[in-house]
Amino acid sequence: MDLRFDGVSVVLNGKTLVDRLSLPVGSGQVVGLVGPNGSGKSTALRCVYGALKPHVGAVRLGGTDLAELGSRRAARAIAALTQESSSEFDFTVTELVELGRFPHLTGNQALTARERELCRDAMDRLDVTHLAERGVLSLSGGERQRVLIARALVQEPAVLVLDEPTNHLDVRHQIELLSMLRTLGLTVLVVLHDLNLAAAVCDRIGVLSAGSLVRAGTPAEVLTADLVREVFGVEVTVVDHPLTGDPQLLYALTSDRRSSV
């Protein structure tokens, strides 16, 4: 199912945080949102998972304005891993993952055998099965992040929204997670800070700067040295990845010792 920002603006305390954002996220595509700190990425995502309502414009799921879809249908269709996703309660890992089925249950309905199998499968995929009986409050940041992603998957959403999902993950788990995103067949909207990972995983990328979309397109169309200089104020050399052909950015520290010897 496709998702679309249709002229979305968000104004809070008199400040325009997102300014007339229009961006399609095609069905089954992985679309990245990148941009400097404070450029409005999380704010845009909040409009998708219902934490904020656009002041102007709409977020449409399969053509329907989320505001008209109803919170229960939206909660079933959209799973989110956000900056705020965490648990204040010391659920076990299994319990927290099973909570991902909550939007599909009525009353005190117990999980079916298929749903339990789904939870076990998600825990395997996210490499957290060995933590099944641990309390989530005792987990490391990366372990907790993987549990929350498993919880999002068991929801069987049409759309997955992820705000910096690689935060806290070591390089193996970063690569595994992003590789998995490409195999899910879901519509994925993901905020990433690492532009090289964004280039590797995304079909398309939108670049936000001060709340406005400054460019959208394929990674090769978007991640140019000019764009990175203009938006991030950083000089980069762009090369093609020798195996995948994806654009990859090479950075040099401004105080690189080797340039002065």
Mask for 1-40, x = binds ligand ATP (CB under 6 A): -----------xx-x-x-----------------x-xxxx
**Residues forming a β-bridge with 12:** 15
Distance CA 104, CA 102 (A): 5
Q: CA gyration radius for the chain?
A: 19
DSSP for 24-61 reads: EE-TT-EEEEE-STTSSHHHHHHHHTTSS--SEEEEEE
**Phi and psi (nearest 5°) for 105?**
-95, 155
**Phi and psi (nearest 5°) for 185?**
75, 10
Q: Which is nearer to ligand ATP, 157 or 211 (CB)?
A: 211
Q: Which is nearer to ligand ATP, 38 or 70 (CB)?
A: 38
Contact (CB, 8 A) for 48 and 59: yes
Q: Which is nearer to ligand ATP, 10 or 153 (CB)?
A: 10
Cite the DSSP H helix spans in 108-216: 113-125, 141-154, 171-183, 195-201
Residue 172 Cα distances to 33, 83, 142, 175, 196, angstroms: 22, 21, 11, 5, 15
Q: Which is nearer to ligand ATP, 14 or 245 (CB)?
A: 14
Mask for 33-72, x = binds ligand ATP (CB under 6 A): --x-xxxxxxx-----------------------------
Find the shortest distance in angstroms from Cβ 179 to ligand ATP. 24
Find the shortest distance in angstroms from Cβ 123 to ligand ATP. 28
Find the shortest distance in angstroms from Cβ 259 to ligand ATP. 29
Find the shortest distance in angstroms from Cβ 187 to ligand ATP. 20
Q: Which is nearer to ligand ATP, 21 or 122 (CB)?
A: 21
Find the shortest distance in angstroms from Cβ 173 to ligand ATP. 20
Distance CA 31, CA 100 (A): 23
Find the shortest distance in angstroms from Cβ 178 to ligand ATP. 18
Residues in the site for ligand ATP, rule: CB under 6 A? 12-13, 15, 17, 35, 37-43
